């Protein structure tokens, strides 16, 4: 049975629609909770798939959250070994850092639903399932594209949204995994952030979510299934 290890930084940001795909594919799913579980001695190499999920902290805040050092080091080792790895939001930023990119505060919050602009490489990849569909953006940090990485998707505000490293590593600054039901927990837990972001409100986000989340979940399931079926180079 293949093993999927998901590193979770806050309890409400989970695998979302990806969990169904992994269960259908026969994966044994395990969560490791950052700040609670020991990531220093965690085995980053053995799992068939490592998923690093999002969270409301910066990848560069290692002095405040020391477990980030262990995550980045584990990701660096796993990615160098060509092991299948998926990063979402903070997870993508940690992947970028592990691969030699720089993560830093951006020009402001990108919070809400809007489509990605796919590159030619993105349109030829499993990312094509998201073509033209609004996806959820919820971040204020950004990163430089790591050496050797291939850019797959952008937005006008933050051009580095999705990148790949070969066929084994895929990183999303945005959130393809979210579901309408799951986001209700976000609206509660991120209440202060929503209130402090100009032009954003819970009713507006809930309305956009009702409109866009079902199509995103269906497309993301196809994206994840196809990506998991790709044969890695190593």
DSSP 72: H
Q: Given 129, 137, 139, 175, which residue is catalytic?
A: 175
Q: Given 71, 89, 168, 174, which residue is catalytic?
A: 89
DSSP 141: E
Alpha carbon distance 98, 171 (integer Å)? 12
Phi-psi domain of 82 (left: phi exceeds 0; alpha: psi -120 through 50; beta: other): left
Which distant-in-sequence residues (6+ apart) come within 8 Å of 29 by Cβ? 4, 6, 15, 19, 22, 23
| 232 carries an active-site annotation | no
- Please provide residue 103's backbone torsions phi and psi, each rounded to the nearest 5 degrees: -105, 135
Q: Given 13, 137, 177, 190, which residue is catalytic?
A: 177
Would you say 29 and 15 are in contact if contact means Cβ atoms under 8 Å apart?
yes
| 175 carries an active-site annotation | yes
Alpha carbon distance 71, 87 (integer Å)? 12
- Residues marked active site are found at 89, 175, 177
């Amino acid at each position: 049975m293949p093993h999927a290890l998901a590193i979770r930084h806050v309890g409400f940001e989970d695998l979302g629609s990806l969990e169904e795909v992994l269960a259908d594919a026969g994966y044994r799913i395990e969560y490791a909770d950052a700040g609670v579980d020991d990531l220093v001695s965690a085995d980053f190499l053995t799992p068939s798939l490592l998923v690093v999920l999002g969270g409301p902290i910066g990848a560069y805040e290692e002095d405040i959250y020391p477990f980030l050092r262990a995550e980045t080091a584990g990701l660096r080792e796993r990615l160098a070994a060509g092991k299948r790895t998926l990063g979402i939001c903070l997870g993508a930023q940690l992947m970028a850092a592990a691969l030699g990119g720089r993560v830093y505060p951006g020009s402001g919050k990108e919070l809400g639903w809007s489509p990605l602009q796919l590159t030619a490489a993105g349109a030829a990849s499993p990312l094509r399932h998201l073509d033209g569909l609004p996806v959820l953006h919820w971040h204020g940090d950004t990163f430089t594209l790591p050496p050797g990485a291939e850019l797959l998707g952008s937005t006008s505000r933050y051009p580095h949204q999705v990148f790949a490293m070969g066929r084994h590593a895929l990183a999303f600054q945005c959130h393809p995994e979210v579901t309408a039901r799951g986001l209700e927990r976000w609206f509660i837990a991120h209440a202060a952030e929503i209130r402090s972001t100009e032009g954003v409100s819970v009713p507006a986000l809930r309305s956009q979510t009702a409109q866009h989340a079902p199509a995103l979940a269906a497309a993301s399931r196809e994206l994840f299934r196809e990506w998991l079926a790709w044969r890695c180079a190593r």
